[in-house]
Homo-oligomer: A and B are copies of this chain.
Amino acid sequence: MTPVITIAGAQMGATQKNDTRESVAQRMQHLIEQAAKRGAQLIVFPELCLTPFFPRWYYETLEEADQWFEDQWPPRGLENALQKAKDLNIMVQISYAEKTLDNHRYNTASLISSAGEHLMKYRKIHLPGHADYIPERPLQHLEKRYFEVGNLGFPVERFYLENVGEFNLGMLLCNDRRWPEAWRVLGLQEVDIVLIGYNTPVANLDVTHHQPPHLKVMQSNLSVQAGCYQNNCFGVSVAKAGVEDGHAMFGSSIIVNPFGEIIARSSTWHDELIIADCDLSLCQVNRASTFNFEAHRRPEHYQRIVEQTGSIRPKKVVQA
């Protein structure tokens, strides 16, 4: 058996405030059909793929923001698209704002089997931005207002797929991809494939005067490439792109191999499939050498990573 899985990243263009759920679901269904035609066994959608990136808008109460949350499974309006995926025998990852029965709100990704079953869930842990309205910001980023920190850790599950074999899969969402701790917790579970949805603006919201916009794509790619290389895994990093409500998101969806190389990349800001054959035997190459964790890691020297949250600079100053 060849351990190759064909994965599609389904970048999506902008979704506007007044777009209907029906229109979004139709776009997703079309992408699912295209991915299946091209032989994909798994299709990955962006973060918050069903709605605009609503955390840029301020609502005084959480209840006002509930219009953007899903409180049922599957999310409303997705029945036909998911039925089509099942008919075409393709696994699907979708991401959405989740409201639980007991009123908790998370930024969530769900993986669905080729038989249409809910397989695993991830709730975003590294929420960027802020909780309160900040008048001097050109754009709000209120993820810390609308979502709680994920309570599921960074799960990795082992799956079996016919014609592929067994593989380990984990998920991250958007800002998580910049945090090496998140990647390492996945790597320590021997993850082979990491799925990542994101929405990232072209502009630097806090620091436009310091960092030119072209660095945003470089830094996004750098984070995913380093995460894959240092953890012996494939990364499928899929954007919501284009201009929503006047705010541009940079797109640039990529698939990265375990050597850190970009092997597929989007080139528009619209709905666009990227696709790659991911040979899972490549995950074993550095796992047996450079990044053989058992042979080379030294956790006794890593204690600060869990013992402190913020950075603490040395107190004493020495003349150099």
Q: Any chain B CB within 8 A of the CB of A69?
A: no
A126 to B184, CA, bound (A): 16
A317 to B320, CA, bound (A): 57
A187 to B312, CA, bound (A): 9
Task: Assess A260 versus B222: contact at CB under 8 Å? Given A157-B318, A305-B299, A320-B119.
Answer: yes
Q: In chain A between 245 and 290, which residues have their CB closer than 8 angstroms to a CB of chain B?
A: 259-261, 282, 285-290
Q: Which partner residue on chain B sits nearest A297 by CB separation? A: B309
Q: Any chain B CB within 8 A of the CB of A219?
A: yes
Q: In chain A between 217 and 242, which residues have their CB closer than 8 angstroms to a CB of chain B?
A: 218-219, 222-223, 225-226, 229-230
Measured CB to CB, the closest approach of chain B to A199, in angstroms, equals: 15
Task: Assess A180 versus B298: contact at CB under 8 Å? Given A160-B317, A285-B207, A311-B189.
Answer: no
Measured CB to CB, the closest approach of chain B to A33, in angstroms, equals: 20
Q: In chain A between 134 and 166, which residues have their CB closer than 8 angstroms to a CB of chain B?
A: 149-150, 153-154, 156-161, 166
The listed residue (B149, B166, B288, B291) touching A298 by CB distance below 8 A is B149
Whether B113 and A305, one on each chain, are in contact in the complex, defined by CB atoms closer than 8 angstroms, is no
Measured CB to CB, the closest approach of chain B to A187, in angstroms, equals: 6
Whether A184 and B187, one on each chain, are in contact in the complex, defined by CB atoms closer than 8 angstroms, is no
Whether B119 and A314, one on each chain, are in contact in the complex, defined by CB atoms closer than 8 angstroms, is no
> How many A residues touch the partner, as a band?
35 or more
A303 to B307, CA, bound (A): 10
The listed residue (B181, B310, B316, B319) touching A302 by CB distance below 8 A is B181
Whether B305 and A188, one on each chain, are in contact in the complex, defined by CB atoms closer than 8 angstroms, is yes
Q: Any chain B CB within 8 A of the CB of A185?
A: yes
Measured CB to CB, the closest approach of chain B to A214, in angstroms, equals: 10
Task: Assess A168 versus B314: contact at CB under 8 Å? Given A299-B309, A308-B299.
Answer: yes
Q: Any chain B CB within 8 A of the CB of A20?
A: no
The listed residue (B168, B285, B291) touching A211 by CB distance below 8 A is B285
A158 to B219, CA, bound (A): 28
Enumerate chain B residues within 8 angstroms of A104, measured Cβ to Cβ: none
Given contact pairs A113-B319, A161-B320, a sample of 14 additional A-B residue pairs in the complex whose CB atoms are under 8 Å apart? A91-B320, A119-B318, A126-B296, A126-B298, A153-B301, A158-B314, A178-B230, A180-B180, A185-B302, A185-B304, A185-B305, A206-B288, A206-B289, A218-B261
